Structure 1
């Protein structure tokens, strides 16, 4: 089977989803851009050294945004990715982001690469089901899924540095690679477009690549419209990023954080029109930091 839906299945799925959710989406024309406020961003300290948090709900615009700012030079920082299963014949096995974080005792985690299911179960929230990654995924120097030429990816090298590039241009020294959709912010230039607002998951970096930003934007809800990638670029710039890539979004968008020893879902993902329903996805990006600050 192809790693992508058959056209007929995709049309049915999309038609069902948007028909059932239409009444929940705020009526906001694309001419009315959702832009960040004029005042400077205010990050909150977290329970962890090297990690800050941001929660922003618009006063007038339907914005619901949640983000983490991670100092990549923090001593003891360790990244964790989703392994390929050995008990089923599939690239990946679906798992909720919160479960992935709990099983691996992570500080935080976010959903990652677009994916496809082998039957019309994409809208059915099944954990431990076969999933095929739509694009590049390299786990500890082992290629799980091959590149899609027109998509981009995140690369974590053996020397601990991060890069963003086309899935066709795998940097030398790559140990981990996590495919996304497209780079929308490059060297401080907003290259985003997209005339549709979706819930979004994005990963960004500061100009010097020493700070990572993990961001989710809720959508398909009465007070949360989602964003275009152009709007996403403006908000990433406001947060302090100079580089950003759009990851799997929609009902998959999930960001979890461990606070006071317990994991908390920061955003409210929408699965099958129900806010707060977390979806089981193909893979994730997570990290551990040394013990919580007192």
Structure 2
């Protein structure tokens, strides 16, 4: 009898160990282990406007850029960073004008789409020779939401009520509900980027969030990242600090006000909080709070301006 009981205990222990191992693997696969995934479809727009060819070489610009601590100017890209204080919070408002929409790009961590593939915004930016970059929508944090990047469709599972920022081949912004149009339809229409986070902050020049709007269960004052379009080939990026002794953070409505005042006709909220990062000319400009101390949180993607 005792021998039988011991056998039962041994087999029960083995079963529990296997069960725990299986559960651990599922959790690791879902949240830790990197898993690269393939492109579903592509509709990349080729552009030859970013190069100036001579008989012997190909250069990105015909003259050296003029760069200061808060600005960048060459014949194709003009960037100006304005540091403001809004609601006891340091806010960076970046005005960007380009000669062609092809200079507005996105990039993935490790140049790979997939689950649990992450890098710091500055690392992704440097790998892609970005002049200016912000964190994107952190697509890897969710299992749904359209993902189209640089004309490549990676994820087409959507949900009703999810507002996405769409950037077409002309660099123009619009807002769509995933319930109203499929990712494949967007790709077929020539869309180059779809960012799925939100909410929409400004549409047709008017603020479209109310004072109580928030992302999930987030606090009402946070570090924030957002992007907007002012006019053709004219954009604005806003990154605010928050959760520090020096900066309280912004509400979504306050963020919308900043973008509207900067001239945005369409503006969209991206992943914020610990992810909020502004990179310019080799340096992180804001004060991220996502990592150890004042270091960056690793994210899955960025939005940037540059030649690469």
Query: Which TM-score tier does this pair reach, normalised by the shorter chain?
Result: 0.5 to 0.7
User: Which residue in the other structure is 1:164 paired with?
Assistant: 175
Instruction: Give the superposition deviation at 1:86.
Output: 8.5
User: Which residue in the other structure is 1:175 paired with?
Assistant: 192
Equivalent positions of 1:219-230 (< 5 A) are 219-230=242-253
Equivalent positions of 1:141-152 (< 5 A) are 141-145=151-155, 146-152=157-163
- 2 CA distance for matches of 1:98 and 1:134? 26
Q: Relative contact order (alpha carbons < 8 A, sep ≥ 6): 1 or 2 greater? A: 1
Q: Please list the CA deviations of residues 71-126 of structure 1 after superposition, one character each: whole Å capped at 9, or x if unmatched.
A: 14x259523322476889x3461011100111111111110114455xxxxxxxxx
**Corresponding residue to 2:164 among 128, 137, 153:** 153
CA contact (8 A) 1:84 1:92 kept: no
**Corresponding residue to 1:202 among 206, 211, 226:** 226
Q: Which has the larger radius of gyration?
A: 2
User: Which residue in the other structure is 1:212 paired with?
Assistant: 235
**Corresponding residue to 2:286 among 252, 255, 267:** 267
CA contact (8 A) 2:134 2:304 kept: yes
1:107 to 1:180, Cα distance in 2 relative to 1, 3 A: same
User: Which residue in the other structure is 2:261 paired with?
Assistant: 238
Q: Please list the CA deviations of residues 260-284 of structure 1 after superposition, one character each: whole Å capped at 9, or x if unmatched.
A: xxx111110102573x211110111
TM-score by length of 2: 0.64
Farther-moved stretch of structure 1 (47-56 vs 138-147): 138-147
CA contact (8 A) 1:133 1:282 kept: no
1:257 to 1:231, Cα distance in 2 relative to 1, 3 A: same
TM-score by length of 1: 0.67
Superposed CA RMSD: 3.0
1:233 to 1:107, Cα distance in 2 relative to 1, 3 A: same
CA contact (8 A) 2:201 2:269 kept: yes
Equivalent positions of 1:1-294 (< 5 A) are 46-49=71-74, 50-58=78-86, 61-72=87-98, 74=99, 78-83=103-108, 90-91=114-115, 93-115=117-139, 134-145=144-155, 146-168=157-179, 169=181, 171=186, 172-193=189-210, 194=213, 196-206=220-230, 208-258=231-281, 263-271=282-290, 274=293, 276-288=294-306
- 2 CA distance for matches of 1:76 and 1:155? 13
Size of the alignment, in residue pairs? 227
SS at structure 2 position matched to 1:174? coil
User: Which residue in the other structure is 1:28 paired with?
Assistant: none
SS at structure 2 position matched to 1:271? coil
The answer for unaligned runs of 5 or more in structure 1 is: 7-43, 118-131
User: Which residue in the other structure is 1:122 paired with?
Assistant: none
1:85 to 1:255, Cα distance in 2 relative to 1, 3 A: closer
CA contact (8 A) 1:83 1:92 kept: no
1:133 to 1:237, Cα distance in 2 relative to 1, 3 A: same
- 1 CA distance for matches of 2:172 and 2:88? 36
The answer for unaligned runs of 5 or more in structure 2 is: 1-25, 32-68, 215-219
SS at structure 1 position matched to 2:124? helix
CA contact (8 A) 2:163 2:197 kept: yes
- 2 CA distance for matches of 1:216 and 1:105? 20
Farther-moved stretch of structure 1 (281-290 vs 105-114): 281-290
